[in-house]
């Protein structure tokens, strides 16, 4: 309907019909004489929209109140005072749109799939362009219960084509392919719709990442950090979660996962057994691909030469530092600081089995292959013996010789001995103030006991046949009872 305006002396333009008949004094453009502040007003009370044109093209429409259907699958909406701003309002409406979709609707004039609209998209701004739709505004879900919503959409079946992105730009640099000065801008985050049920959040500049590596396209996990690191500045202050039995792991692609603390479904490097906090590794019966009885454990070294290999290479070792340090507070009658058992597999014979093989290499000072010390603390009274070393050789089969202790001094041709060599050196020192209860002091004590009528030697000495070689040599008196 064509509309004309007649400028009157009252400060407003009277809205008239094509034949210059006024619609009424309530319809005008200008200043209302009844209002002392005289605001600029466009007043139309004929229950018709107000339209604006430029270049004879319909650009803007403001509705009085209207009820119509936007999404054909939902009830009608009450468009009360809603506005549509568009390069061609008439062209947009001719494509099937009934009017603005929300309180303010910005449209490019092309068709928008109205099935993306929802009933709650009312108090906000709707964007339709390039055949897609977005909405920013309120979403009410009850009395005084309102969410602020950032929404975007796509055509059915094309969810993965459109993303929500957060971009920052500064001064333009035509030679910058990425970043804040580039034509694209600096991307801080994107939301990627993987399918109708999943949205992945990507942190970082995904555009720049794809520019440098075309294989990087979209966030592939629920949270995907394309560059940079993740930092937690404050960890929980609650007590340690000792009762939890899962821990976080990272795969070679940087994807986080979790595993059970052993024993778990994988049961691999470590196993918790015995119904308590006992840990073991490299045990028989481990799952495939896990450390088993054929695997070794190394601490500070590679390769691992034994079942357990330890290497200490401290540049400045502290005084008294130990490769292995064991302190055991026992509360039982029978305790062992270290137990070593060496068994040959059934059907496998070995010419030499060493329970302990100690090699000590010292550049200067005293070198001790093995040092053993047993002591009683001051104030304690021993009910049994105190032995620095106890050696027991037990046999249950037939062997050639059995030796509880064997001592060998091997002076190599490259060695040079400036003093004596001792196969066995034994010293007994008595500094006790009261030794009246002591029976005897023995530097070496030998005893042989057996039921057989055969030759037995408590102490056996053998020497080469040289001028000054002695199988037995004593400084001091010698007492022999018997033959």
Terminal alpha carbon distance of the chain = 149
In the prediction, which pLDDT does 109 show? Answer: 86
And the tokens for 339? 């137990």
- Determine how many CB atoms are found less than 10 A away from the CB of residue 72: 9
Q: List the structure tokens of 268.
A: 């691999």
73, 115 Cβ separation under 8 angstroms: yes
Backbone angles phi, psi at 161, to 5 degrees: -85, -30
Question: In 3-state terms, what secondary structure has residue 304?
Answer: coil
Say how far apart CA 256 and CA 250 lie, in whole Å: 5
φ, ψ of residue 140 to 5 degrees: the values are -85, 140
Enter the pTM of the model.
0.54
H or E stretch including 93? Answer: helix 89-94
Task: Give the pLDDT of residue 434.
Answer: 72
pLDDT string in tens for the chain (483-residue length): 344 444 444 455 555 554 444 545 566 666 655 655 666 667 666 678 889 999 999 999 999 999 999 999 999 999 999 999 999 999 999 999 999 999 999 999 887 778 999 999 999 999 999 889 999 999 999 999 999 999 999 877 776 678 999 999 999 999 999 999 999 999 999 999 998 899 999 999 999 999 999 999 999 999 999 999 999 898 888 777 767 778 889 998 889 888 877 654 445 677 777 766 778 888 887 777 788 888 888 888 778 888 888 887 766 666 667 778 888 777 766 777 788 877 777 776 666 667 777 777 776 677 787 888 887 777 777 777 888 888 888 888 888 888 888 888 888 888 888 888 888 989 988 887 776 666 788 889 988 888 878 888 889 888 888 988 999 999 899 998 887
- pLDDT the model gives residue 163: 92
Q: Are 292 and 285 in contact (CB under 8 A)?
A: yes
pLDDT of residue 289: 74
Residues contacting 180, CB < 8 A, separation 6+: 168, 169, 170, 186
Task: Report the alpha-carbon distance of residue 80 to residue 478 in Å, rounded.
Answer: 128
Give the pLDDT of residue 40.
65
* 108 alpha-carbon distance from chain centroid: 47
CA-based nearest residue to 268, from 296, 246, 293, 290: 290
Strand 198-203, strand 223-225: pairing = parallel
How far from chain centre, in Å, is Cα 362? Answer: 44
Determine the Cα–Cα distance for residues 154 and 131; give it in Å rounded to an integer: 8
Q: What would you report as the CA-atom Rg of the chain, rounded to the nearest whole angstrom?
A: 48
**What is the full DSSP assignment across 177-205?**
SSBTTSSSBEEEEEEEEEETTEEEEEES-
3-state DSSP helix/strand/coil percent for the chain, to nearest 5? Answer: 5, 25, 70
* Helix, strand or coil, per DSSP, at residue 190: strand
pLDDT at position 149: 97
Report the pLDDT value the prediction gives residue 171, as an integer from 0 to 100: 96
Structure tokens at 194: 């993987």
Q: Mind listing the pLDDT tens digit for each residue in 146-167? A: 999 999 998 777 766 789 999 9
- Other CB atoms within a 10 A radius of the CB of residue 422 amount to 9
pLDDT above 70 coverage of the chain, percent: 83
Query: Where does residue 404 rank: exposed (0-12), middle (13-18), buried (19+ CB within 10 A)?
Result: exposed
List own/partner pairs for 59-63 with CB under 8 A and 24 or more apart. 59/85, 59/86, 59/87, 59/88, 59/89, 60/84, 60/85, 60/86, 60/89, 61/89, 61/99, 61/100, 63/99, 63/100
CA neighbor of 264 nearest in space, from 242, 246, 283: 246
DSSP 261: S
Neighbours of 474 (CB within 10 A): 7
Q: Which two tokens stand for residue 401?
A: 């010789």
Lookup: tokens for 101: 């979709």
201 touches 223 (CB < 8 A): yes
CA neighbor of 123 nearest in space, from 99, 100, 107, 94: 100
Give the pLDDT score at 201.
Answer: 97
C-alpha 308/C-alpha 282 separation (Å) is: 10
The distance between the two most distant Cα atoms of the chain, rounded to a whole number of Å, is 160
For residue 190, the cross-strand partners are 165, 202
Helix (H), strand (E) at residue 91: helix 89-94
At 175-209, the pLDDT tens digits run 999 999 999 999 999 999 998 899 999 999 999 99
């Amino acid at each position: 309907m064509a509309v004309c305006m007649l400028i009157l002396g009252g400060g407003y333009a009277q809205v008239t019909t094509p034949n210059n008949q006024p619609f009424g004094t309530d319809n005008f453009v200008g200043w209302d004489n009844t209002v002392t502040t005289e605001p600029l007003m466009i007043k139309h009370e004929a229950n018709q929209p107000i339209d604006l044109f430029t270049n004879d093209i319909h650009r803007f429409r403001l509705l009085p109140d209207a009820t119509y259907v936007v999404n054909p699958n939902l009830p009608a909406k009450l468009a009360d005072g809603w506005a549509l701003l568009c390069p061609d309002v008439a062209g947009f409406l001719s494509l099937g749109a009934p009017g603005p979709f929300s309180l303010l609707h910005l449209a490019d004039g092309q068709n928008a799939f109205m099935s993306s609209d929802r009933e709650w998209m009312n108090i906000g701004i709707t964007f339709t362009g390039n055949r897609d739709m977005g909405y920013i505004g309120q979403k009410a879900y009850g009395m005084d219960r309102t969410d602020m919503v950032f929404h975007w959409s796509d055509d059915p079946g094309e969810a993965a084509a459109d993303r929500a992105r957060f971009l920052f730009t500064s001064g333009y640099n035509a030679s910058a392919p990425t970043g804040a000065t580039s034509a694209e801008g600096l991307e801080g985050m994107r939301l990627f719709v993987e399918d109708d049920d999943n949205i992945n959040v990507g942190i970082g500049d995904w555009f720049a990442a794809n520019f440098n590596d075309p294989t990087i396209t979209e966030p592939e996990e629920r949270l995907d950090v394309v560059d940079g690191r993740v930092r937690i500045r404050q960890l929980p202050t609650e007590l340690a979660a000792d009762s939890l039995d899962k821990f976080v792991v990272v795969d070679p692609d940087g994807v986080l996962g979790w595993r059970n603390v052993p024993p778990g479904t994988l049961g691999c490097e470590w196993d918790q057994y015995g119904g308590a906090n006992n840990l073991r590794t490299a045990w028989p019966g481990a799952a495939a691909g896990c450390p088993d009885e054929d695997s070794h454990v190394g601490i500070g070294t590679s390769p691992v030469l034994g079942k357990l290999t330890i290497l200490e290479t401290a540049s400045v070792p502290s005084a008294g530092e130990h490769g292995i340090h064991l302190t055991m507070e026992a509360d039982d009658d029978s305790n062992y600081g270290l137990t070593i058992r060496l068994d040959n597999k059934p059907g496998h014979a070995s010419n030499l089995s060493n329970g302990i093989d100690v090699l000590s290499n010292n550049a200067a000072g005293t070198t001790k292959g093995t040092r053993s010390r047993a002591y009683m603390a001051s104030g304690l009274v021993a009910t049994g013996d105190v032995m620095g070393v106890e050696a027991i050789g037990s046999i249950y089969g037939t062997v050639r010789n059995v030796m509880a202790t064997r001592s060998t001094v091997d002076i190599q041709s490259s060695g040079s001995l400036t003093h004596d060599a001792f196969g066995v050196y034994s010293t007994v020192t008595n500094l006790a103030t009261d030794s009246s209860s002591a029976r005897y002091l023995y530097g070496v004590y030998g005893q042989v006991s057996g039921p057989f009528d055969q030759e037995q030697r408590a102490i056996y000495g053998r020497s080469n046949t040289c001028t000054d070689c002695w199988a037995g040599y004593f400084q001091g008196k010698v007492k022999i009872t018997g033959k």
